[in-house]
């Protein structure tokens, strides 16, 4: 009974965490700002931190043995954050609290990972779908308030149903093979028609892993090694595309964007290279104007489209390497359904965030949070012995 009660409390806290991160969705956040005429995100973050603290105090037995390795791993990241604080334009308090909010969530997930089970993951699926409908409603409401031609601006995916909502649907229907296959096919039709390549790739990967048709390819390497691979791919693609005219057929301009950010990283001083620096986009736009092969609007270059490259820029080599150590997951039984599902969730989110994200692995979006949840599941000591 004690464990059941704690699991319910944990699920409630996890629900609030997912909502607090999901509410940062562009359409949800913009709509709420118009309604309240203020940035409500900071209020939500304070509330969530307090709720996490209350859960930890009430369940102190689960936290009387803090994993020292997590603290050691985060020390260099804190160093990068503090050293890089001189680059911020806004409030230092908001900058530091913003990082603290996300890092506290990571610690919470890692220290309570034994409470995550199949019912928790199903709850996550419902939350993702709920957030998807909320995002769709907010996008439609914004179009009305701002007098935007909704259908023309958003194309085929006219309800703007986010990719993480499709992920929620996949999670809930993964055990019904026929319906699951139909849902995957329908989502692929939408993504391909909308030319959302990252979501198309992510959907295929999720289907292959859950259906066990991936030949265990995604179980050979640790999560950290795949994140490092995604970073190296940005460098490889940027080198190939930057001096050629194949951008529109390979990565729709991402190669040029990545090349520009790699050039900025190369031009950082030694301190910024090691601990992270700030990209000045006005200087970057002036720099790129001299390259005639650039066929991407320069105003789009602040959208980096790579969570791994953004992490390297924000926290430098030192921070990036220690973040890779954090993402070093344990090997689990491939036949275990929960681990297999968490593996599918991780690589679904990695595929999207590696091709279509402007956040990093510390100040994450919904995809980053789901990757950390999947990592927590993967690092459970006794996955099959979870007590519900």
Q: What is the DSSP string of 205-242?
A: HHHHHHTT-STTGGGSS-HHHHHHHHHHHHHHHHHHHH
**DSSP three-state, residue 180:** helix
pTM as predicted: 0.90
Q: Please state, as a whole number, how many other Cβ atoms lie within 10 Å of the Cβ of residue 330.
A: 12
Q: What is the DSSP string of 255-282?
A: HHHHHHHHHHHHHS-HHHHHH-----HH
pLDDT the model gives residue 260: 86
pLDDT the model gives residue 298: 63
pLDDT the model gives residue 2: 44
pLDDT the model gives residue 155: 42
Residue 58 CA to its chain's centroid (Å)? 29
What lies within 8 Å, CB to CB, of 355 at 6+ separation is: 197, 198, 201, 251, 254, 305, 306
pLDDT the model gives residue 154: 47
Query: How many helices, marked H, and strands, marked E, lie in the chain?
Result: 18, 0
Residues of 295-328 as b/e, b for ≥16 C-beta within 10 angstroms?
ebeeeebeebbbbbbbbbbbbbebbbebbbebbe
pLDDT the model gives residue 383: 45
10-residue mean pLDDT profile of the chain (388 residues): values are 68 94 89 80 90 85 62 76 78 86 90 88 95 88 71 48 92 94 92 84 94 84 91 90 60 78 90 88 75 66 88 92 86 76 94 90 94 91 46
């Amino acid at each position: 009974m004690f464990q059941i009660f704690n699991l319910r409390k944990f699920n409630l806290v996890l629900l609030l965490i997912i909502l607090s991160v999901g509410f940062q969705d562009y359409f949800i956040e913009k709509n709420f700002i118009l309604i309240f005429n203020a940035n409500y995100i900071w209020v939500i973050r304070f509330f969530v931190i307090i709720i996490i603290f209350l859960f930890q105090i009430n369940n102190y037995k689960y936290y009387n043995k803090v994993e020292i390795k997590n603290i050691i791993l985060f020390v260099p990241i804190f160093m990068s954050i503090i050293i890089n604080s001189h680059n911020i334009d806004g409030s230092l308090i908001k900058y530091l609290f913003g990082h603290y909010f996300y890092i506290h969530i990571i610690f919470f997930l890692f220290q309570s990972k034994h409470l995550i089970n199949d019912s928790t993951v199903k709850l996550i699926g419902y939350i993702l779908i709920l957030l998807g409908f909320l995002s769709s409603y907010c996008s439609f409401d914004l179009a009305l308030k701002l007098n935007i031609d909704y259908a023309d601006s958003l194309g085929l995916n006219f309800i703007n149903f986010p990719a993480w909502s499709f992920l929620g649907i996949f999670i809930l229907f993964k055990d019904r093979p026929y319906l699951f296959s139909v849902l995957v096919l329908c989502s692929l039709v939408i993504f391909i028609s909308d030319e959302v390549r990252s979501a198309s790739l992510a959907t295929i990967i999720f289907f292959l892993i859950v259906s066990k048709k991936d030949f265990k390819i995604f179980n050979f390497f640790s999560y950290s090694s795949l994140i490092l691979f995604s970073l190296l791919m940005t460098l490889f693609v940027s080198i190939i595309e930057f001096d050629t005219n194949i951008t529109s057929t390979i990565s729709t301009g991402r190669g040029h964007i990545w090349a520009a950010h790699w050039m900025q990283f190369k031009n950082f001083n030694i301190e910024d290279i090691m601990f992270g620096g700030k990209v000045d986009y006005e200087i970057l736009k002036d720099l790129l104007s001299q390259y005639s092969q650039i066929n991407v609007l320069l105003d789009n270059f602040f959208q980096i489209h790579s969570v791994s490259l953004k992490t390297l820029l924000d926290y430098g080599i030192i921070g990036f390497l220690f973040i890779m150590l954090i993402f070093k997951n344990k090997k689990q039984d491939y036949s275990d359904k929960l681990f297999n599902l968490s593996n599918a969730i991780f690589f679904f989110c990695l595929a999207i965030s590696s091709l279509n994200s402007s956040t990093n692995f510390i100040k994450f979006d919904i995809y980053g949070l789901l990757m950390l949840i999947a990592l927590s599941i993967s690092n459970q000591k006794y996955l099959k012995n979870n007590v519900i």
